[in-house]
Amino acid sequence: MTNNYNDTKLSWESPEQMTADNNEHVYSPRFLDKKWQDRWTKDGLHSVDDNDPRPKWYELTMFPYPSGDLHIGHWYAMAPSDAHARFRKMQGYNVLHPMGFDAFGLPAENAAIKRGIHPYEWTMSNIENMRGQLKSMGTIYDWDREIICALPEYYRWNQWFFLQFYKAGLAYRAHAPANWCPSCQTVLANEQVIDGNCERCDTEVSRRDLEQWFLRITKYAEELLDFSGLLDWPERIKAMQSNWIGRSEGTHISFDISHCGLEEVELRTFTTRIDTIYGVTFVVLAPEHPLVDKLTAPEKAKEVKAYVEQARRQTEIERLSADKEKTGVFIGSYCVNRLNGEKVPIFIADYALLSYGTGIVMGVPAHDTRDFAFAQKFDLPVKVVIAPDNWNGNELEEAHIENGTQVNSGQFDGLTSDHGKDAIADYIEGQGWGERTVSYRIRDWLISRQRYWGTPIPIIYCDRCGIVPVSEDMLPVLLPEDAQFRPTGESPLRYNEGFLNTSCPACGGMAKRETDTMDTFVDSSWYHMRYTSPSYHDAPIDPKTMAKWLPVDQYTGGAEHAVMHLLYSRFFNKAIRDIGLVDYDEPYLRLFNQGTIISQNAKMSKSRGNVINPDIYVDKLGADVVRGYIMFLGPWDQGGEWSDGGINGMARWFNRLWDIVTRDVETIMETPNPEKAERDLTRLLHKTIRRVEEDYSRFKFNTALAAMMELTNYMARAWDNNQVTKSSWTSTISNLLILLAPIAPHVTEELWERMGNEYSIHNQLMPDWDKDLAQDEEITLVVQVNGKVRDKIQVEASVSEDQAKSIATESEKVKPYLQGMDIRQLIYVPGKLVNIVVS
RNA sequence: GCCCAGGUGGCGGAAGGGUAGACGCGGCGGACUUAAAAUCCGCUCUCCCUAAAAGAGGUGUGGGUUCGAAUCCCUCCCUGGGCACCA
């Protein structure tokens, strides 16, 4: 059969040339995108009803920073999540799939410094533009629920949460060395320093001592390691969070310094290897440790001071480099190892970190690689206390860090080191010299930022009353509009007299406001909650909508947020739970991480010039083709490479689909065997339904599309071969359109209407598949001899084991391989194959 | 160094103990066209062979388990990500 494809194909012409008016059969994607987007908006098709009785499904994708342009990476994150949310909706859920803007942050302020545009103007006009681009994707976002973090009605609740944390002892101020990004002109949290560089701008960070506000995430270290409240999170993300939290079990053990005549009478160290306590030959303090001054002998003072200053100057990178040669200084005093009464010299060295454990390390060169290197450098004794198996008593070439037998360990000699650990810890606890404990690598979350475009921290400093929180009824503390944007290293708010000067809420006297603003990760820690009641005035969330929607059922986004946003948000949830604001333990029950879309073998970036602008493709090919192509690239979690050739393939398939759906069924001729034609097409349809729905639920859009392509390929062939019936044809195309609707909402809506169906396809339910109808009538029986395929035979699906075996052994192609052989075994796999084992 | 995730045609990728390479891109050949584009049809892992048929080989490497391994187990190599002087 020949088709006049010119009449029915999709046209990629502009809508001016091709409108639905001048030709019913020609479709312009650009025209149709707009036609249906307008219609859906007008009908409120995607507005979400809090009172809908259907089971709820809250599907969220990480909201974008309003950089001003929606690039292909945004599409890659958002189009598949939209398809998945649509799929859930078509499974009968009441779906909330909202969108908003992570609108505070540095680029807005940098634009102000560079170009004199106010951050508010810059941000809001970017949002305006991006909202339009987001709408062009054809997503089901309910724009009535949009949130913008930079607006006072949002950030006042950041301040409100901060005050609750302050009251609960979860927010505190401390003077501490902090990571300073000289380019961003602000401090950063530990999570925002990647390999010693700023997470945003990649500039090397330095250290700066400042008064800073912290949130006490360490209080939740143990609970954050417990992922049992999550339904489905990637193991990788859980591993990254576990790594970051860095739990290690060990013992606190103190060394006696009572002979020094100080107020302090002991040095507390943390060790995971208490079994090696008899091998201590030195103790190391972190250079910044407060006891350093007190313990330094006068004759060493100069040398120690020089070392401390040099250590402070070092950047994070220099200091943490593992291959760096050990440095340090003997400070001229000693402590006593209480277990054996030995006198132990005290050093300072920068490999001891003030912020981990107690800031003091017991040096056991025989059994720790770092201590070994230090001992070599300073010619300190290496005392073996854990004998390796078959140890001959010689000196060690390197540290023996594995297990062994306790030696030179007093009463513990002869125990295995495992037993030694327990016995020594018991003994120490009994003597009151220390106790078993757990140490974590994670530090409290530093939220102060010395920048303008963020949430003002609602704190007032009064000379008489000290630190005074702003009272709740005075919120929000508004960002002043008229700030001077100068990169001074201090918040621009400090130079704004009108903002800075205020009166003390306690005594009414003159006082000054905190001028730092909050890390923007505070905004994203609870934004998912605000979507449920974006304009609620009495609290961050309406308790009614909270109970209805939260927690989030499915969250999607990039893995780069594993130890930043995702960890902060989990902490935030647990903290506000303990304050009594929510009653669940985890904010995001299921998490799926999409990969990265690349182009020309590299991440897209302006400097590489390999950036793909989606608008051009949307304009030419329509949103559905771009959506479909992005989902067809490969498995969503593995990312993929953009190719222009590839997207044309997707456009071609939509073209063929359009052709198939718009064929006139009245021209179908009588087929010789209508029952068989009907059964065959129906069978493939039901197999396709099964595959597509399984694939959607696992985010395998690529194979779902492949299944639908196989179906259209079959249909085109069957039509040409006169092997279709009107009824199966019609029912197959309407089911196919429903299956495809989550990926391609516009084309399917248009074709659905053209078939004469009731508006809207997006209110249809996903079809069920029928096991019997999907059942094969014939199968290909594979016949192997010793595991090698020798024949493939079409047989009835109902074939019995005996029948299959005899068909296999009697195959003409197989017989030569059986000649003169003994059949040892016949393996039968029902519905699949027979393997004849011969020798 | 430790912990994850990967390695399959020219390319993106299917298959997660049972026909390796679905689906798509690219390529080749053909139809339509004055021609081109678009569209449609056919072929497209490698070797052997004039060709077909039939063989043989083939999923990073080397071993193992199994009637049968891309798939499970062990060794090593490579790629990407995370942690790393954390005591």
Please answer whether residues A146 and A98 qualify as being in contact, where contact means their C-beta atoms are separated by less than 8 angstroms. yes
Question: What average pLDDT score do residues A798-810 get?
Answer: 90
Closest CA to A573 of A583, A587, A590: A587
pLDDT at A521: 95
Angle A284-A288-A292 from CA coordinates, rounded to 5°: 60
* A835 Cβ contacts chain B strand, under 7 Å: yes
Q: Is the pLDDT of residue A114 over 90?
A: no
Nucleotides of B under 7 A from a protein CB: 3-5, 12-15, 18-20, 22-26, 38-42, 54-57, 67-69, 81-87
Predicted confidence at residue A315, as pLDDT, reads: 58
Q: Name the residue among A579, A575, A679 with its Cα closest to residue A221.
A: A575
Protein residue closest via CA to C1' of B39: A5
**Cα A255 from Cα A328, distance rounded (Å):** 20
| pLDDT value, residue A318 | 60
The number of CA neighbours under 13 Å toward the Cβ of A229 is 15
Nearest protein residue to nucleotide B15 (CA to C1' distance) is: A703
How many angstroms is C1' of B69 away from CA of A769? 33
Answer for A523: CB within 7 Å of strand B: no
Indicate if CB(A352) is under 7 A from strand B.
yes
A100 in Cβ contact with A63 (< 8 Å): yes
Q: Report which of residues 150-209 in chain A place their beta carbon less than 7 angstroms from any atom of strand B.
A: 194-195
Rounded Cα–Cα distance for residues A684 and A39 (Å):
34
A549 near A541, Cβ under 8 Å?
A: no
Whether the per-residue pLDDT at A359 is higher than 50: the answer is yes
Q: Is the CB of A401 under 7 A from strand B?
A: no
- CA–C1' span, A646 to B27, in Å? 15
The reply to whether A638 Cβ lies less than 7 angstroms from strand B is yes
Q: What residues contact residue A476 under an 8 Å CB cut-off, 6+ apart?
A: A152, A155, A156, A159
In the structure, what pLDDT confidence band is assigned to residue A179 with cuts at 50, 70 and 90? confident
Mean pLDDT of A669-694: 91
pLDDT value at residue A31: 84
Q: Residues A656, A716: contact at Cβ < 8 Å?
A: yes
The span from the CA of A435 to the CA of A440, in Å, is 16
Answer for A649: CB within 7 Å of strand B: yes
Q: Show the tokens assigned to A133.
A: 């681009």
Q: What is the model's pLDDT at position A297?
A: 94
- Can you tell me the mean pLDDT for A32-36? 93
Place of tokens 């009272």: A471
Task: Give the mean pLDDT of A610-634.
Answer: 92
β strands within A663-815, DSSP E: 778-785, 788-796
Tokens 């030959």 appear where?
A: A281
Q: How far is CA A102 from CA A219, A252, A528, A839, in A?
A: 27, 43, 12, 70
Residue A364 pLDDT: 95
**Structure-block tokens of residue A668:** 């179908």
- Average pLDDT (A47-54) is 95
Query: With 0-12 CB in 10 A as exposed, 13-18 as middle and 19+ as buried, what is A434?
Result: buried
In this prediction, residue A323 carries a pLDDT of: 60
pLDDT above 50 (res A17): no
Interatomic CA distance for residues A251 and A327, integer angstroms: 26
Tokens coding A677: 């034609």
**pLDDT over 90 at A66, yes or no:** yes
CB A659 within 8 A of CB A641: no
Q: Using the CA of A641, which nucleotide's C1' is the nearest one?
A: B12
Residue environment code for A245-266, b if the CB has 16+ CB neighbours within 10 A, otherwise e = beeeebbbbbbbbeebeeeeeb
* pLDDT-wise least confident of A210-219, A250-259, A486-495, A649-658: A486-495
The pLDDT of residue A5: 31
Identify the pLDDT of residue A319: 58
A437 touches strand B (CB under 7 A): no
A439 pLDDT more than 80: yes
Q: Are A702 and A633 in contact (CB under 8 A)?
A: yes
Residues 45-84 of A with CB under 7 A from strand B: none
- When pLDDT is averaged across residues A85-98 and rounded to a whole number, the result is 97
pTM here?
Answer: 0.91
pLDDT of residue A436: 93
Q: From start to end of A595-733, where are the E strands?
A: 597-599, 602-603, 640-641
**Nucleic strand B near CB of residue A646 (< 7 Å):** yes
pLDDT of residue A706: 95
pLDDT at position A18 = 35
Q: Which residue is nearest to nucleotide B67 (CA to C1')?
A: A837
Residue A9 has pLDDT above 50, yes or no: no
**Residues A477-496: tens digit of each pLDDT:** 999 988 888 777 788 898 89
Measuring alpha carbon to C1', the residue closest to nucleotide B19 is A782
User: Locate tokens 């003409």: which residue?
Assistant: A812
Percent of chain A with pLDDT over 90: 66
For the CA of A648 and the C1' of B26, the distance in angstroms is 12
Per-residue pLDDT band for A188 (boundaries 50, 70, 90) equals confident
Q: What is the pLDDT of residue A316?
A: 54
**In the 8-state DSSP scheme, what is residue A106?**
H
Q: What is the CA radius of gyration of chain A?
A: 35
Q: Is the pLDDT at A87 greater than 50, yes or no?
A: yes
What's the average model confidence in pLDDT over A557-561? 90
ipTM score:
0.94
Q: Tell me: the pLDDT tens digits for A285-318?
A: 999 899 999 999 999 999 999 999 888 777 555 6
**pLDDT category of residue A515 using cuts at 50, 70 and 90:** very high
Residue A594 approaches strand B within 7 Å at CB:
no
The string of pLDDT tens digits covering residues A815-826 is 888 888 888 889
Band of pLDDT at residue A426, cut at 50, 70 and 90: very high
pLDDT in tens, A649-664: 999 999 999 999 999 8
Mean of per-residue pLDDT scores for chain A: 90
Helix axes A726-740, A644-661, angle to 10 degrees: 140
Q: In chain A, what percentage of residues exceed pLDDT 70?
A: 95
pLDDT recorded at residue A489: 79
Confidence (pLDDT) at A839: 82
CB of A353 lies under 7 Å from some atom of strand B: yes
Give the per-residue pLDDT at A322. Answer: 52
pLDDT of amino acid A650 = 93
